[in-house]
Amino acid sequence: MPMLALEDFRHTMESCNHCGQCKWLLGPKTKGYDYAEICPIHQRFGFDAYSGQGLLNIAEELLNGELAYESGLIELIYSCTTCGACDINCKSIRDMEVLETILALRSRVVADGWGPMPVHQQQARSVARQHNIFGKEHGQRFDWLTPDIELAKSSNVAYFVGCVASYRYPQIAQNTVRILNAGGVKFTVLDGEEYCCGGPLWRTGQVAAARQVAEHNLAALEKHGIDTVIVSCAECFGAFRDFYPRLGELKFQVTHITEVVEQLIADGRLTLHNTRSRKVTYHDPCLLGRLSEAYVPWHGEIKAFGRHEPPKQWRRGRQGVYDAPREVLKAIPGLEIVEMVRNEENSYCCGAGGGVAEAFPNFSQWTARERSKEAKSTGADAIVSCCPFCESAFEQALRTADGEMEYFDVTQLIADAL
């Protein structure tokens, strides 16, 4: 499996010159001191160790035998949300694999028996037993299906629901399938053959466990002749686009529900109507945005000045799913969209990714509150996004605020406008 060998990223570790770009937006992207930082852990804790640069230094020292494991170090490594903002901003200056190194570091920590955090280990056990990160009964995964939802008896299009929409936010799943029904999309689901996408396990360094469920899902999709997978969860989207291609060439394409809706509107198969006037700001989920570019395997030699032979296709975060959700929101009469300073590939993480919400809920909520402040500064009435992990983070953050802002998953606004 062409990933997560810490030794493979020595060039990145040795090339870091402590410029600090992993911590801040590029100068031309900033609009003042407020909302200029891009790394949640560095903004919160302040020390260089809590940053892309710091994690590269830690990885190199561990690799060289100059640093020993201890509990505080493990907590530091797992405080990172793996949002990838450091990676994208670093690549704006030079070609390095900061996020890949961080993920490889976590994999090494697990291999050496020091990680992940206990709550992440529990998630892996839950996935092994019940095929979802919550440990809920696997037979309840599709309890959200109602009699009015129309599934095709046979289709090469499948809706992959994911754990969080199945068990925590069933309205996302229900709205998604109702949108597909309204647009005349013939699709099916995998029923009991759908397991966790494996993304949460992979991002906490539990690669073997993640691979096991991913290979199961790949086999199930192939068994049913699926050539198009629709998702409404950014975590699942990121797993299919970034993790699964590392296991082999995919035999299907992955598309997000907003991309499907955008095409349905363009084809005249779906028309959205006015519900009420509302000003919203759209939050780009990390795994639907900068981290959703397809993984392209590379094998070769790194020569002087970082020259890669053969040339490497770099993922710089600019080809994420940015336009589709915005175009769909624009198609809803009465909605006004205002942008936050940190958007698209420079979106600020909600704080729920990389296992942080489970292991460090206080820090996760601090991050969500910081993002909520930025959302409020736009004058918007509501935050809209496409990720159930983001929904969980923002719902908690907004409950502790003044109650002036709401959160909506984009599928809710679309379904309301049908």
Q: Is the pLDDT of residue 36 over 60?
A: yes
**Residues 89, 263: Cα–Cα separation, whole Å:** 31
Q: Please, what is the average pLDDT of the chain?
A: 95
Q: Is the pLDDT of residue 231 over 70?
A: yes
Residue 251 burial class via C-beta count within 10 angstroms: exposed 0-12, middle 13-18, buried 19 and up? exposed
Comparing CA positions, the residue from 133, 288, 299 lying closest to residue 210 is 133
Residue 192 is classified by DSSP as G
pLDDT > 90 fraction of the chain, expressed in percent and rounded: 92
Number of C-beta neighbours around residue 64 at 10 A: 10
What's the whole-model pTM score? 0.96
Comparing CA positions, the residue from 54, 22, 49 lying closest to residue 38 is 22
Confidence grade of residue 399 (pLDDT, cut at 50, 70, 90): confident
Range with lowest mean pLDDT among 113-117, 196-200, 296-300, 336-340? 296-300
Q: Is the pLDDT of residue 412 over 70?
A: yes
pLDDT, residue 150, reads: 95
Sort residue 48 into left (φ over 0), alpha (ψ -120 to 50) or beta: alpha
Comparing CA positions, the residue from 160, 157, 180 lying closest to residue 226 is 157
Long-range contacts of 294-300 (CB under 8 A, 24+ apart): 294/241, 294/242, 294/245, 295/241, 295/242, 295/243, 295/245, 295/246, 296/245, 297/2, 297/245, 297/246, 298/2, 299/2
Which pLDDT tens digit goes with each residue over 365-389?
999 999 999 999 999 999 999 999 9
* Average pLDDT estimate for 122-141: 98
**Residues 110, 24: Cα–Cα separation, whole Å:** 30
* Average pLDDT estimate for 115-128: 98
Residue 151 burial class via C-beta count within 10 angstroms: exposed 0-12, middle 13-18, buried 19 and up? middle
Comparing CA positions, the residue from 215, 229, 237 lying closest to residue 353 is 237
pLDDT, residue 401, reads: 65
Q: Is the pLDDT of residue 127 over 80?
A: yes
Confidence grade of residue 400 (pLDDT, cut at 50, 70, 90): confident
pLDDT, residue 118, reads: 97
Q: Is the pLDDT of residue 190 over 70?
A: yes
Confidence grade of residue 3 (pLDDT, cut at 50, 70, 90): low
* Average pLDDT estimate for 151-171: 97
Q: What domains, with CATH codes, occur in the chain?
A: 119-266 (3.40.50)
* Average pLDDT estimate for 138-165: 96
Q: What is the CA radius of gyration of the chain?
A: 21
pLDDT, residue 30, reads: 87
Comparing CA positions, the residue from 155, 77, 134 lying closest to residue 109 is 77
